[in-house]
Amino acid sequence: MKVLYTTQGAIEKVGSRYYGDGINANYKRYVILGDEITIACAEKEVITSKCAIFDDNVKFAIIHNTNSVKSFFRYNHSNIKIIKDAVKNADVLVVHLPHSMGYVAIHYAKKYKKPYMCVVCGCPWDAMWNHGWRGKLLAPFAYIKLRKVISKAPYVVYVTKHFLQNRYPTNGRTIACSNVNVSTGIEEILNRRLSNIKERQQQQRCIRIGTSAAVDVVYKGQEYVIRAISKLKKEGKKFEYHIIGKGDPTRLKSIIAEEGVEDLVFIHGLLPHREVPGFLDDMDVYIQPSKQEGLPRAMIEAMSRGCLCMGSDVAGIPELIEKDFIFSKGDVNGIARKLERIDSTMLEKQAIRNFNEAREYDSNILNERRKNFLLEFKKNSRLR
């Protein structure tokens, strides 16, 4: 069986080889539907990559990013043809949404009577509403588009428990299943966290806050934490902020300089995924200040390492953490006030709470739930 998996993500190309972390992990979940996988996505040529290399047997239908008006008119027609040909060659589709080429794939899946299932990964309304006046004009149309497509989809996976289900309901079969891929419940991790909290208190170490997200995506919201750090510094309270993630950090660096917190805010770039647990273990607090999300995998991973977690009041974030650690998106003062309340007792309590809460998102549990749903889809779609 030939499986086409479409995603809005991009992979990295070094020479003739492809690399990626999230997409690389995701496609392996769909091998249960067929032994030949084609991934439809964009690519970015780089000199070297820190991501995992794709297996030789994976095929690709490479499309161009159309993030501007110019690129849309230049590449949209050719992208549609690429997707159309990929759908014709496939036996079954798994379509991650929202994504313009994902909608094209569904159109041709219906035309050529190919079984398909959708994975709802985020909210286009939130994404576009936070991109200036042009985004605000397009947000209602993107919202209506996804609602219409998902309402008619035969099988839908939502990455949240409630948020995306309520905003984009379906008449088809559905499950809630995050895309997170972490192992949880290792008691040694929690014990080490609790020991470190006591040790760091004795050392009077400055509280360290971390965020893992693309540094050149404005709606990820790191700037609000930077400004909160600056506000607290002016009040004589010091917190360190450590940022990891791919992308050009020029914009964030200018904000750091503007706020005068070069001594407290550090951008480390993209870390190989194997190094992320160590980074999280060195943080006291993990913060997700996004203006748009689905269900943030990075926050679940931080919870599994026993971090106290804070986040904005968007999408699936309030499903993960207690309301005392939720702030309004873009609220610099709210972030600052919540940070200054943190003490060792709170760190210990939240370490235990978040560590246990993360068990629900253990990769073994989620993979089994997803596997059963995929098998049902395969059976009812009469795939062989």
Residue with tokens 């760190």: 347
Q: What is the pLDDT of residue 67?
A: 72
pLDDT 10s digit of each residue in the chain, 384 long? 899 999 988 899 999 899 988 888 889 999 999 989 999 999 988 898 888 899 888 999 999 887 766 777 777 899 999 999 999 999 999 999 999 999 999 999 999 999 999 999 988 888 787 767 777 888 899 999 999 999 999 999 999 989 999 999 999 999 998 877 777 778 999 999 999 999 998 888 999 999 999 999 888 999 999 999 999 999 999 999 999 998 899 999 999 999 999 999 999 998 988 899 999 999 999 999 998 887 888 999 999 999 999 999 988 899 999 999 999 999 999 999 999 999 999 999 999 999 999 988 888 888 999 999 999 999 988 754
Please, what are the domains in the chain?
A: 2-181+363-380 (3.40.50.2000), 187-359 (3.40.50.2000)
Q: What are the DSSP calls for 52-83, one per residue?
A: PBPPTT-EEEEE----SHHHHHHHHHHHHHHH
Q: What is the pLDDT of residue 383?
A: 56
Residue with tokens 């990455």: 159
Nearest C-alpha neighbor of 309 from the set 355, 270, 359: 355
Distance separating alpha carbons of residues 18 and 368, to the nearest angstrom: 28
Residue with tokens 């020991």: 195
φ, ψ of residue 57 to 5 degrees: the values are -85, -5
φ, ψ of residue 331 to 5 degrees: the values are -90, 90
* Token pair for 176: 């809630």
Query: Please, what sign has the CA dihedral across residues 58, 61, 65, 66?
Result: negative
Residue 339 CB partners (closer than 8 Å, separation 6+): 207, 209, 228, 232, 239, 285, 310
Nearest C-alpha neighbor of 366 from the set 295, 288, 278, 312: 295
Parallel, antiparallel, or unpaired: how do β-strands 17-19 and 2-14 relate?
antiparallel
- DSSP letter assigned to residue 91: S
For residues 181 and 21, the answer to whether their CB atoms sit within 8 Å is no
Query: Please, what sign has the CA dihedral across residues 53, 56, 59, 62?
Result: positive
Q: H/E element holding 18?
A: strand 17-19
3-state secondary structure of 40: strand
- DSSP letter assigned to residue 249: -
For residues 211 and 287, the answer to whether their CB atoms sit within 8 Å is yes
N residues, the chain: 384
Angle at 276 between CA 253 and CA 203, to 5 degrees: 80
3-state secondary structure of 144: helix
Q: Which residues of 249-285 are buried (b: 16+ CB within 10 A; e: fewer)?
A: beebeebbeebebeebbebeebeebeebbebbeebbb
Residue 348 CB partners (closer than 8 Å, separation 6+): 194, 197
**pTM for the complete prediction?**
0.82
Q: What is the pLDDT of residue 230?
A: 97
